[in-house]
Amino acid sequence: MNAVSQLHPDSREGALRAWWMPFTHNRYFKAAPRLIASAKGTYFTLADGRRVFDCLSGLWCSPLGHSHPRIVEAVKAQLDTLDYAPSFQMGHEPAFRLATRIVELAGRPEDRVFFTNSGSEAVDTALKIAVAYHRARGDASRTRIIGRERGYHGVGMGGISVGGMVANRKMFAPLMIPGVDHLPHTWNPAEMAYSRGQPSWGAHLADELERLVALHDASTIAAVIVEPMSGSGGVLVPPRGYLDRLREICTKHGILLIFDEVITGFGRLGTPFGADFFGVKPDLTTFAKAVNNATVPLGGVIARDDIYQAFMTGPAHMIEFFHGYTYSAHPLAIAAAHATLDVMAEEKLIARAAELSPVLEQAVHSLKGEPHVTDIRNIGLAAAIELAPIAGQPGLRAIRVFEKALDDGFMLRFSGEMIAIAPPFVSSAADVAAIVEGIRRALRAVPV
Ligand SMILES: Cc1ncc(COP(=O)(O)O)c(C=O)c1O
């Protein structure tokens, strides 16, 4: 019997019983809980008092570190002023102002923002906008959406349908939206293992879109959705020229291109959005996470102005888009976003992420040759280390590395056979070096 199968499901009855935790091995966790008590700056403090470095900026979402005084102050002040405001048929000024700031930061000042509360909601919203846009223009047969293998677009029914992670999909097939197809993913270790930044091989994989267009006919396809850099899939970096080619093919066939920038939005690649880094313009952009440092849930979709305009028909007193959330543009989330964007601008933190990127690249690639390592990928302030699986126990290797590193003071992210890091933008070069040395010690401590 191995360590995992010995665990009894109810080994921790009582205090931890009721919460069915998300994306968590509940039995394993409850047998040896890892509880976070507080956070400040780039550190979490665990319930046993140990401080651990937050190597993934929360879940890619807290680039300014935790409990940033400016954000805390802004949210507290907002609570005293307006705790909640309905966004249906009413509005509050800071939300309009935030939408303007976001389109300006994105370099698309003429465009529009639809607010949601999460990345998953942002994705489902973008898919609905895409399909409804074509219909509003009299092109109602364009309903098909093309996603990509290994893509992660959250856990809504739309998001899992276009997503490409088998574990997130296989149980739910009957609930998924029909009429979805997938591009192949772009990771090919034989061609691109240990690439630094964008691999030079693989642009031709975008031509698979032409094949799907030939198969389904462009007249049936509403949109293509991809993450410019697939974060949850394990920092899968687009090959040079790949996204440009997708853009060309979409434009040629009247297909909308959706960039899911829930991870890459607001600076992770050292530019405001991934679109800026890669120099490719999408039609719709989803965002969440770093927009307000994850202090209060917030997400959204940026839509090209003419997409918005396509909905603006019929009598002006009628609702144009039957979609929205009770908490869309929640005042606390909006206040946190203004404070986050203020701090990002004043402290030039997106440029800081860009400066740290080569430091991270240099450091993380020094792990080549360490035990278990089979590939290392990086772009911007993000990196992933692919590990050789333990025979017969998929996923356990990365868990072991995670546990060793946590004991050593570094909270990494593990998923499948992969370890990911995306340090806060406020990290120092010494922090980045320390994270990588922590990973090195953890790799060496895990038996071959
Ligand atoms: C690209 C992408 N899209 C969507 C989501 C889902 O966001 P959320 O967990 O806020 O629903 C994520 C989350 O990691 C993501 O990385």
- 185-213 per-position pLDDT tens digit: 999 999 999 999 999 999 999 999 999 99
How many whole angstroms from 122 Cα to the centroid of ligand 1? 9
Counting ligand 1 atoms within 8 A of each CB, the residue from 21, 56, 123 with the most, and so the one to mutate, is 123
Ligand 1 midpoint to CA 262 (Å): 6
Alpha carbon nearest to ligand 1 atom 8, residue: 119
Give the per-residue pLDDT at 439. 98
Q: Is the pLDDT of residue 6 over 50?
A: no
* pLDDT attached to residue 448: 86
Give nearest CA residue, ligand 1 atom 13: 154
Rounded mean pLDDT of 240-247? 98
Q: Whose CA is nearest to atom 3 of ligand 1?
A: 153
Atom of ligand 1 nearest to the CA of 118: 10
pLDDT value of residue 380? 98
pLDDT per position as a tens digit, 139-151:
999 999 999 999 9
Note the pLDDT of residue 13.
Answer: 58
Domains of the chain in start order, with CATH, are: 34-67+348-445 (3.90.1150.10), 71-346 (3.40.640.10)
Residues in contact with ligand 1 by the CB-under-6-Å rule are 118-120, 123, 152-154, 227, 231-232, 260, 262-263, 288
In one-letter notation, the amino acid at residue 329 is: A
Per-residue pLDDT tens over the stretch 47-104: 999 999 999 999 999 999 999 999 999 999 999 999 999 999 999 999 999 999 999 9
Ligand 1, residues 232, 284, 292, 298: which to mutate, most atoms within 8 A of Cβ? Answer: 232
